[in-house]
A and B are shown apart, each in its own frame.
Chain A
Amino acid sequence: MALSGMRGLSVFISDVRNCQNKEQERVRVDKELANIRTRFKNERGLSVYEKKKYVWKILYIYMLGYDVDFGHMETMALISAPKYAEKQVGYIVTSCLLNENHNFLQLVINTVRNDIVGRNETFRCLALTMVGNIGGREFSESLAPDVQKLLMSSSCRPIVRKKAALCMLRLYRKNPDVVNTDGWPECMAHLLNERDLGVLIAVMSLLVALVANTPEAYWNCVPKCVQILERLTRGQDVPQDYTYYGIPSPWLQVKTMRVLQYFPSIEDPSIRKSLLNVLQTILLRTDVVKNINKNNASHAVLFEALSLVMHLDAEKDLMSQCIVLLGKFVCVREPNIRYLGLENMTRMLLVADVVDTIRKYQAQIIASLKDPDNSIRRRSLDLLYAMCDVSNAKNIVEELLQYLTTADFGIREELALKAAILSEKFAPDLSWYVDAVLRLIDKAGDFVSDDIWYRVVQVVTNNDDLQAYAAEKARNYLDKPAVHETMVKVSGYLLGEYSHLLARRPGCSSKEIFHIIKEKISAVTTVTKAILLSACVKVLMHCQPPNQELFEQATATFRRYENSVDAEVQQRAVEFLALSRNGLAMVDIMAEMPKFPERQSALLKKAVDTDGDAPEVSATKLRLQQQNSMALVVADRRPPNGDLHLLSVTEAGASNQYPKHAAVAESQASEVPHSSQSQVHSNGATQQHASGTPHGDLLGDLIGTLAIDAPPAEPTTGPSDSQALEAPPKSPAISAASADSLALVVLDAAPTQVQPLKSVSEWFRELSVKDSGVLYEDPYVQIGLKAEWRNAQGRMVLFFGNKFTAPLRNVRGSVLSPPHIRTRSAVVPETIPPRAQVQVPVDVACIGASRETAVLDFSYNVEYTPVKVQLKLPTLLNKFLQIAPVSANEFVAWWRALGGPPSKIQEVVRGVRPMPLTDMADLFIRLHVGVLPGLDPNVNNIVAATTFYSGTAATLCLVRVETDPLDRTQMRLTVASEVPNTTYELKELMKEQLVDIPSLAQPSRTSASSLAAMGLTAPAAALAGLI
Chain B
Amino acid sequence: MIHFVLLISRQGKVRLTKWYSPYTQKERTKVIRELSGMILSRGPKLCNFLEWRGLKVVYKRYASLYFCMCVDADDNELETLEIIHHFVEILDRYFGNVCELDLIFNFHKAYYILDEVLIAGELQETSKKSVARVIAAQDTLIEHAKEQSNSLSNIIAQATK
A interface residue numbers (CB < 8 A to B): 1, 3-5, 10, 13, 17, 48-49, 56, 59-60, 62-65, 67, 83-85, 88-89, 92, 96, 99-101, 122, 128-129, 132-133, 136, 159, 162-163, 166-167, 169-170, 173, 197-198, 201-202, 205, 239, 241-242, 244, 249-252, 254, 258, 293, 296-297, 299-300, 303-304, 335-336, 338-340, 372-376, 378, 614-619, 622-623, 626-627, 630, 632-635, 637, 952
28 A-B contacts (beta carbon < 8 Å): A1-B106, A4-B108, A5-B146, A48-B149, A49-B149, A59-B111, A84-B141, A85-B141, A92-B108, A99-B19, A132-B119, A159-B134, A162-B124, A163-B119, A198-B126, A201-B126, A202-B119, A202-B124, A242-B126, A249-B126, A300-B77, A340-B77, A373-B47, A375-B46, A375-B51, A618-B55, A633-B30, A634-B53
Interface residues in B1-47 (C-beta closer than 8 Å to A): 1, 13-27, 29-32, 34, 42-43, 45-47
Q: With a CB–CB cut-off of 8 A, which chain A residues contact B23?
A: 99, 626, 634
Looking at the assembled complex, report how far the CB atom of B118 sits from the nearest CB atom of chain A, in whole angstroms: 9
Given known A-B contacts A129-B115, A335-B47, A952-B24, A83 and B145 have beta carbons under 8 A apart: yes
Q: With a CB–CB cut-off of 8 A, which chain B residues contact A637?
A: 53-54
Q: With a CB–CB cut-off of 8 A, which chain A residues contact B107?
A: 59-60, 63
Instruction: State in angstroms the CA–CA spacing of A545 and B77 once bound together.
Output: 71
Q: Is the CB of A162 within 8 A of B142?
A: no
Partner of B30, one of A88, A132, A634: A634
Q: Is the CB of B73 within 8 A of A619?
A: yes
Interface residues in B116-161 (C-beta closer than 8 Å to A): 119-120, 122-130, 134, 137-138, 141-142, 145-146, 149
Q: In chain A, what residue has the closest Cβ to B30? A: A635
Q: Is the CB of A132 within 8 A of B77?
A: no
Given known A-B contacts A67-B25, A623-B22, A375 and B47 have beta carbons under 8 A apart: yes
Given known A-B contacts A169-B120, A198-B130, A339-B47, A615 and B73 have beta carbons under 8 A apart: yes
Known: A84-B145, A202-B119, A300-B79. 15 other contacts (CB 8 A): A3-B95, A4-B109, A96-B17, A129-B115, A133-B115, A162-B124, A166-B120, A258-B76, A336-B49, A338-B47, A340-B77, A373-B43, A622-B54, A632-B27, A952-B24
Q: Is the CB of A619 within 8 A of B72?
A: yes
Looking at the assembled complex, report how far the CB atom of B89 sits from the nearest CB atom of chain A, in whole angstroms: 9
Q: Is the CB of B18 within 8 A of A96?
A: yes
Q: With a CB–CB cut-off of 8 A, which chain B residues contact A373?
A: 42-43, 46-47
Looking at the assembled complex, report how far the CB atom of A266 sits from the nearest CB atom of chain B, in whole angstroms: 20
Instruction: State in angstroms the CA–CA spacing of A627 and B26 once bound together.
Output: 15
Instruction: State in angstroms the CA–CA spacing of A45 and B47 once bound together.
Output: 54
Q: Is the CB of B79 within 8 A of A205?
A: no
Looking at the assembled complex, report how far the CB atom of B78 sits from the nearest CB atom of chain A, in whole angstroms: 4
Q: Is the CB of B22 within 8 A of A197?
A: no
Interface size on B, residues (CB 8 A): 74
- Top-6 shortest CB links A-B: A618-B54, A300-B78, A335-B47, A615-B54, A241-B127, A618-B53
Number of A-B contacts (CB under 8 A): 225
Q: With a CB–CB cut-off of 8 A, which chain B residues contact A618?
A: 53-55
Partner of B123, one of A100, A101, A170, A205: A205
B65 at the binding interface (Cβ < 8 Å):
no
Interface residues in B70-86 (C-beta closer than 8 Å to A): 72-73, 76-79, 81-83, 85-86
Q: Is the CB of A65 within 8 A of B32?
A: yes
B interface residue numbers (CB < 8 A to A): 1, 13-27, 29-32, 34, 42-43, 45-51, 53-55, 72-73, 76-79, 81-83, 85-86, 95, 102, 104-109, 111-112, 115, 119-120, 122-130, 134, 137-138, 141-142, 145-146, 149
Looking at the assembled complex, report how far the CB atom of A331 sits from the nearest CB atom of chain B, in whole angstroms: 15
Q: With a CB–CB cut-off of 8 A, which chain A residues contact B126?
A: 197-198, 201, 242, 244, 249, 251-252
Given known A-B contacts A129-B115, A618-B54, A122 and B141 have beta carbons under 8 A apart: yes
Looking at the assembled complex, report how far the CB atom of B76 sits from the nearest CB atom of chain A, in whole angstroms: 5
Instruction: State in angstroms the CA–CA spacing of A22 and B51 once bound together.
Output: 30
Instruction: State in angstroms the CA–CA spacing of A163 and B125 once bound together.
Output: 9
Q: Is the CB of A65 within 8 A of B134?
A: no
Q: With a CB–CB cut-off of 8 A, which chain B residues contact A64?
A: 13-14
Partner of A241, one of B77, B119, B128: B128
Q: Is the CB of B123 within 8 A of A201?
A: yes
Q: With a CB–CB cut-off of 8 A, which chain A residues contact B26?
A: 633, 952
Q: Is the CB of B78 within 8 A of A616?
A: no
Q: With a CB–CB cut-off of 8 A, which chain A residues contact B49?
A: 336, 339, 375
Given known A-B contacts A5-B146, A163-B119, A63 and B43 have beta carbons under 8 A apart: no
Instruction: State in angstroms the CA–CA spacing of A249 and B130 once bound together.
Output: 14
Q: In chain B, what residue has the closest Cβ to A85? A: B145
Given known A-B contacts A92-B115, A338-B47, A63 and B17 have beta carbons under 8 A apart: yes
Q: Is the CB of B142 within 8 A of A88?
A: yes
Q: In chain B, what residue has the closest Cβ to A333? A: B45
Q: In chain B, what residue has the closest Cβ to A55? A: B108
Instruction: State in angstroms the CA–CA spacing of A800 and B77 once bound together.
Output: 48
Instruction: State in angstroms the CA–CA spacing of A13 and B43 once bound together.
Output: 31
Partner of A619, one of B50, B55, B85, B130: B55
Q: Is the CB of B127 within 8 A of A251?
A: no
Instruction: State in angstroms the CA–CA spacing of A252 and B126 once bound together.
Output: 9
Given known A-B contacts A633-B26, A634-B31, A254 and B130 have beta carbons under 8 A apart: no
